[in-house]
């Protein structure tokens, strides 16, 4: 599969009256985000504690159960420290974006995420030293008491982030319903779906 095929990933997911406003992919470089730097100390501490536990259990002649008990924690620590980096490197060249007048689609490897334009979190832009930019969509939703839920996704390291941001601004910001949406009975009024 070549880049042209990857850029066309969105075609089967277009609804009637939906049109593409922008397509793109992340530029090479800029592998780490602020979230990665926050996770780094935590993952180092986790892995260090797990390895120390295993060494202490081994040196003290602890039963086999104690040695086996610590292994999942070492594996989690290794994943926290190295797994995310390996996954980002693997997916960096296999990530593609499409913005239509109704939704944002992100293809990472074989996984496709879709975000409806009418339900996007607030957008912010982070401009990098190399002139590229990352468009962040993030919000925290609070519901009674201490419960909260965060919604977060981004279009990373774009050389043409201004065009992507303009495409987001041109999206239709109304809730779309139609025959391809949850089987509801709908009809076309002008160029928009209405119930």
Q: Where are the domains of the chain?
A: 3-26+97-194, 34-90
How far is Cα of residue 184 from the mean position of the Cα atoms in its chain? 29
pLDDT in tens, 9-28: 888 889 888 999 999 988 87
How far apart CA 20 and CA 18 sit, in angstroms, is 7
**CATH number 2.30.29 given to 3-26+97-194:** yes
pLDDT value of position 150: 76
**Radius of gyration over alpha carbons of the chain, in Å?**
22
pLDDT in tens, 158-177: 888 999 999 999 887 665 55
pTM for the model stands at 0.65
pLDDT value of position 4: 59
pLDDT value of position 5: 61
How far apart CA 127 and CA 122 sit, in angstroms, is 17
Residue 182 has pLDDT above 60, yes or no: no
Structure tokens at 132: 């590229």
pLDDT in tens, 75-118: 999 988 888 777 777 777 788 999 999 999 999 888 899 998 88
pLDDT in tens, 107-156: 988 889 999 888 888 888 988 888 888 898 988 877 776 767 777 888 98
How far apart CA 183 and CA 177 sit, in angstroms, is 9
Strands (DSSP E) along the chain, which ranges?
20-24, 95-100, 103-108, 111-116, 123-127, 133-142, 148-158, 187-189, 192-194
**Per 3-state DSSP, what percentage of the chain is helix, strand, and coil (rounded to 5)?**
40, 30, 35
pLDDT in tens, 35-59: 667 778 888 999 999 999 899 988 8
């Amino acid at each position: 599969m070549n880049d042209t095929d990857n850029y066309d990933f969105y075609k089967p997911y277009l609804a009637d009256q939906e049109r593409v406003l922008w397509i793109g992919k992340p530029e090479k470089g800029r592998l780490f985000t602020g979230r990665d730097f926050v996770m780094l100390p935590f993952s180092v501490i986790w892995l260090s504690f797990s390895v120390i536990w295993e060494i202490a259990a081994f040196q003290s002649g602890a039963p086999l159960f104690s040695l086996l008990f610590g292994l999942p924690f070492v594996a989690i620590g290794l994943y926290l420290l190295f797994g995310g980096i390996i996954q980002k490197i693997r997916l960096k060249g296999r990530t593609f974006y499409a913005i239509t007048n109704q939704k944002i689609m992100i293809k990472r490897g074989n996984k496709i995420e879709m975000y409806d334009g009418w339900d996007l979190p607030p957008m912010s832009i982070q401009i990098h030293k190399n002139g590229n930019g990352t468009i962040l969509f993030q919000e925290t939703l609070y519901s009674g008491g201490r419960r909260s839920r965060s919604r977060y996704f981004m279009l990373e390291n774009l050389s043409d982030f201004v065009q992507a941001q303009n495409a987001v601004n041109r999206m239709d910001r109304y809730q779309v319903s139609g025959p391809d949406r949850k089987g509801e009975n709908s009809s076309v009024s002008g160029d928009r779906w209405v119930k």
